Amino acid sequence: MPEHRFPCDNCGAQLVFAPGQTVLTCPYCGHVQDIPAGGAEEQGVALREIDYSDTVARMERGAVYEETRVLKCPNCGAETEFPEGTQATVCPFCATPLITGTGVHRHIKPAALIPFQLSEDQARRAMTDWLGSLWFAPNGLQDYARKGRKMDGIYVPYWTFDADTTTTYQGQRGDDYYVTKTRTVNGRTETYQERRTRWRSVSGTVARFFNDVLVLASTSLPREHTDALEPWDLSALAPYRPDYLSGFAAEGYQVGLEDGFALAREKMDRVIEQDIRRDIGGDHQRITAKHPVLSDVTFKHVLLPVWMAAYKFQDRSFRFVVNAQTGKVQGERPWSKWKIFFAVVLALILAGGAAYLYQWAVANGYIRPQ
């Protein structure tokens, strides 16, 4: 079980990774230590694609396993690897206190990660701007942003999948055409164009190579929020090194490899359907059958950086996430019932005033009713 320590050469304290740089810094004395640059061989090994079928069949070949110490949240179930020495903290996903106790998570070792590019201050500014743009948010939410509460930097687990696909299909193509018709309106005969559709059977084959289909391997965050953090620049992936995790938490994956591939297949199927519709052409398309064949399926396990804040309001937890590469923000938000109530009252007052003015203007001849 790996124990990763990065002591400061000056004072012995734990060094932490500095976002946007390739150094570790000491939070106490300011000492800076470079992270060794990996060579081309290390980069190639880390970013190589692992054969999916081989790994599923034997679960040992092509995938390197590791065991990490984790704190498991009793509320949301997240299993998070925290910096060494952490015994009591707060779950970054739901703000539930975590008190001592450790577990072990055995998993496929990450091949690569995107190091944090935004500092906590930069992420907080992005989140504050986003919170400030929300309508009908409780005042407490704005206070939360202004007070600069601590944010948690977390590496979130993802799978990426590559696959070559060839899909045969059967369906129908619909082409619109128009016929001239007549009708009687108010005693007058007029002509008009009626649209009709001519259908014919079609079949064909489409092919597509999928590269780095990204699948969230966590169930601790709403998928719609993490999906909204995309796109990620995966060209910035660096070989996995524990140095990048120093000072940050890393969540163990909860969505296994096969379940992750099933989610990737759903993404691929949606794209393949679009390809088929384009191949059919015409004004309308009906797909009656499709038969995708996948080959050369490979995968990687990667970690992507997210700054996170959890806010409790009326006994509910609300989470905000910031893409620590781009600064994009997503999150849950509470609504202020009082603000909504007063907004509705104000709207009714304005609508009533407008109606009164309209009636007054009509009565006094300023406006001719339609």
| 108 pLDDT above the threshold of 90 | no
**Quick one: average pLDDT of 143-166?**
82
Q: Give the pLDDT confidence score for residue 338 in this predicted structure.
A: 46
- Residue 316 is predicted with a pLDDT of 63
Q: Hey, where are the domains in the chain?
A: 49-168+201-334, 336-370
Structure confidence at residue 369 (pLDDT): 59
35, 18 Cβ separation under 8 angstroms:
no
Q: What value does the mean pLDDT of the chain take?
A: 79
Q: What is the pLDDT of residue 209?
A: 97
- The β-bridge partners of 208 are 165
Model confidence at 323, pLDDT cuts 50, 70, 90, reads very high
Band of residue 331 on the pLDDT scale cut at 50, 70, 90: confident
Tokens coding 312: 């409790």
Overall average pLDDT of the 346-364 stretch: 66
pLDDT of residue 93 exceeding 70, the answer is no
Distance (Å, rounded) from C-alpha 206 to C-alpha 148? 52
Q: Single out the residue of 88, 91, 280, 279 nearest to residue 175, CA to CA.
A: 280
Task: Write the CB contacts of 11 (distance below 8 Å, at least 6 apart in sequence).
Answer: 26, 28, 29, 31
Contacts of 86 (CB under 8 A, 6+ apart): 71
Global pTM reads: 0.74
